[in-house]
């Protein structure tokens, strides 16, 4: 796989890439940007990451750690032609060859800015269909898609939705699954940290505390487990739902077995102590947390949404209907009492991850897209006057 990545990189070596995203905090799309920007920089394609000004700084620090230059942009209103002009000027100043935007807002603004700077533009959508709720957003997103040199969805399900939402042809959207870097599991410390007994069972979930992540259903499933299961739910992530989740656990009498860890940087450490990894989301693309659990060889129970079913195909995990706490509880109870099946599921997950979801594979596929775009004569339409961009309604 490394040879494939090196070959794809060689074709575009020296190309300068702008990596653009509208957030600067921790999250799946943000981690993809950091990993990918670092991989391309290490492969001879120096890049500049453009992030919003005066935000949290998490992604800025991650990018700096892998040697990627960070610049900040201003976007202080729902519709800002000034932001487009400033981005186009920044592309010229940094001699950018390809602008690569992640998610809706950057897709809209930088499709326009890249046209002004006369460089190719690539879009990656990671799972959100924020644009689909309003006609004006769909018009703006269709403009971005049809004006760009390449469009990527991280799952087949998301690609299908985009084709229908935006009325674009099938070939207009490629699918490139997310990839993660395989990391060795450290000596675990989570059980000691939480004061758990040797026969307590750890059910781990990783994801920010948003309603779409389905953590309420996981807590309800915890309350349905047999009393002798000695199961504890551990959730790594932050968000506004923390108090609500704790209140729900208290109302169900399981507050002592719910552990909200907040944002954690030591996910491999948490995975090393997990008996089960559960991903109860109500909607997803292809979550990085799931892929990390697969690489770690954990037995996985996950909602059958987005690309999760495809990732866990061939016995690499167990699927349950989204939002179905009784089904989730029944599956967890069965696996907690079946150590041989748990080991088999974990081994299958690790094999599946290594074969399909490595970081090298993802980077090589993007490198080929970049190479194809850069080799197209006249790919970027150069017009005397720029078209008006439909305002992306807030």
pLDDT digits (tens), the chain, 394 positions: 455 566 778 889 999 999 999 999 998 899 999 999 999 999 999 999 999 998 889 999 999 999 999 999 988 777 889 999 999 999 999 999 999 999 999 999 999 999 999 999 999 999 878 888 899 999 999 999 999 999 999 999 999 999 999 999 999 999 999 999 888 888 899 999 999 999 999 999 999 999 999 999 999 999 999 988 999 999 999 999 999 999 999 999 999 999 999 999 899 999 999 999 999 999 988 999 999 999 999 999 999 998 999 999 989 999 999 999 999 999 999 999 999 999 999 999 999 999 999 999 999 999 999 999 998 865 553 333 344 455 444 4
Q: Do 63 and 153 fall within a single domain?
A: yes
Structure tokens at 243: 């108090």
pLDDT of 305-319, one tens digit each? 989 999 999 899 999
CB-CB neighbours of 251 under 10 Å: 11
Residue 88 located in a structural domain? yes
Residue 56 located in a structural domain? yes
Q: In Å, how far are 298, 332, 344, 346, 369 from 339, measured between CA atoms? A: 12, 12, 9, 11, 43
Instruction: Name the domain count of the chain.
Output: 2
Residue 381 located in a structural domain? no
pLDDT score recorded for residue 5: 63
Cβ contact 59:21 at 8 Å = yes
Residue 134 located in a structural domain? yes
Q: Do 154 and 216 fall within a single domain?
A: no
The three-point CA angle 202-205-207 to 5° equals: 155
- Domain that includes residue 159, residue range: 2-179+359-375
DSSP 8-state assignment for residue 43: T
Q: Do 147 and 215 fall within a single domain?
A: no
- Full-model pTM: 0.86
Q: Do 244 and 349 fall within a single domain?
A: yes
Q: Do 30 and 166 fall within a single domain?
A: yes
Q: Do 366 and 299 fall within a single domain?
A: no
Residue 394 located in a structural domain? no
Contacts with 389 (C-beta within 8 Å, 6 or more apart), sequence order: 81, 84, 108, 112, 140, 143
CATH of the domain at 299: 3.40.50.2000
Tell me the Ramachandran region of residue 174: left when phi exceeds 0, alpha when psi lies from -120 to 50, beta otherwise.
Answer: beta
pLDDT score recorded for residue 6: 67
Q: Do 165 and 211 fall within a single domain?
A: no
Q: Do 156 and 280 fall within a single domain?
A: no
Q: Do 267 and 342 fall within a single domain?
A: yes
pLDDT score recorded for residue 351: 96
Distance, CA of 298 to chain centre? 19
Q: Do 203 and 314 fall within a single domain?
A: yes
Closest-CA residue to 65 (of 22, 98, 96, 31): 31
Residue 327 located in a structural domain? yes
Q: In Å, how far are 28, 89, 104 from 72, measured between CA atoms? A: 20, 13, 18
DSSP symbols for 271-339: HHT-SEEEE--SS-S--HHHHHHHHTT--EEEES-TTHHHHTTTTTSEEE-TT-HHHHHHHHHHHHT-H
pLDDT score recorded for residue 256: 96
Residue 53 located in a structural domain? yes
pLDDT of 178-234, one tens digit each? 999 888 888 899 999 999 999 999 999 999 999 999 999 999 999 999 988 999 999
Residue 75 located in a structural domain? yes
Q: Do 23 and 131 fall within a single domain?
A: yes
Q: Do 130 and 259 fall within a single domain?
A: no
């Amino acid at each position: 796989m490394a040879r494939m990545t090196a070959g794809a990189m060689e074709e575009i070596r020296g190309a300068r890439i702008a990596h653009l995203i509208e957030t600067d905090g921790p999250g799946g799309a943000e981690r993809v940007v950091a990993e990918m920007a670092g991989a391309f920089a290490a492969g001879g394609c120096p890049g500049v990451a453009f992030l919003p000004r005066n935000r949290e700084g998490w992604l800025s620090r991650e990018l700096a750690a892998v040697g990627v230059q960070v610049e900040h942009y201003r976007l202080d209103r729902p519709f800002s032609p000034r932001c487009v002009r400033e981005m186009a000027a920044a592309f010229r100043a940094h001699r950018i060859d390809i602008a690569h935007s992640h998610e809706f807002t950057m897709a809209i603004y930088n499709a326009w800015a890249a046209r002004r700077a006369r460089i190719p533009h690539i879009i990656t959508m990671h799972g959100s269909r924020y644009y689909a709720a309003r006609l004006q957003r769909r018009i703006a997103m269709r403009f971005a898609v049809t004006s760009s040199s390449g469009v990527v969805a991280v799952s087949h399900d998301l690609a299908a939705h985009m084709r229908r939402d935006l009325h674009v042809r099938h070939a207009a959207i490629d699918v490139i699954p997310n990839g993660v870097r395989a990391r060795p599991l450290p000596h675990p410390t989570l059980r000691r940290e939480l004061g758990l007994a040797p026969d307590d069972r750890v059910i781990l979930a990783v994801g920010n505390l948003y309603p779409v992540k389905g953590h309420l259903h996981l807590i309800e499933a915890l309350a349905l487990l047999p009393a002798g299961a000695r199961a504890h739910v551990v959730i790594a992530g932050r968000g506004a739902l923390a108090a609500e989740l704790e209140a729900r656990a208290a109302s169900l009498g399981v507050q002592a077995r719910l552990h909200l860890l907040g944002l954690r940087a030591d996910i491999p450490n948490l995975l090393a102590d997990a008996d089960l990894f559960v991903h109860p989301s109500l909607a997803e693309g292809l979550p990085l947390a799931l892929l990390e659990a697969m690489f770690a060889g954990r037995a996985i129970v996950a909602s059958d949404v987005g690309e999760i079913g495809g990732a866990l195909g061939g016995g690499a995990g167990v699927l349950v209907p989204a939002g179905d706490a009784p089904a989730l509880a029944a599956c967890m109870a069965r696996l907690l009492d079946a150590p041989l099946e748990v080991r088999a599921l974990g081994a299958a997950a690790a094999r599946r991850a290594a074969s399909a979801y490595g970081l090298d594979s993802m980077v090589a596929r993007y490198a080929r897209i970049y190479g194809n775009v850069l080799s197209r004569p006249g790919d970027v339409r150069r017009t005397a006057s720029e078209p008006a961009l439909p305002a992306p309604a807030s």
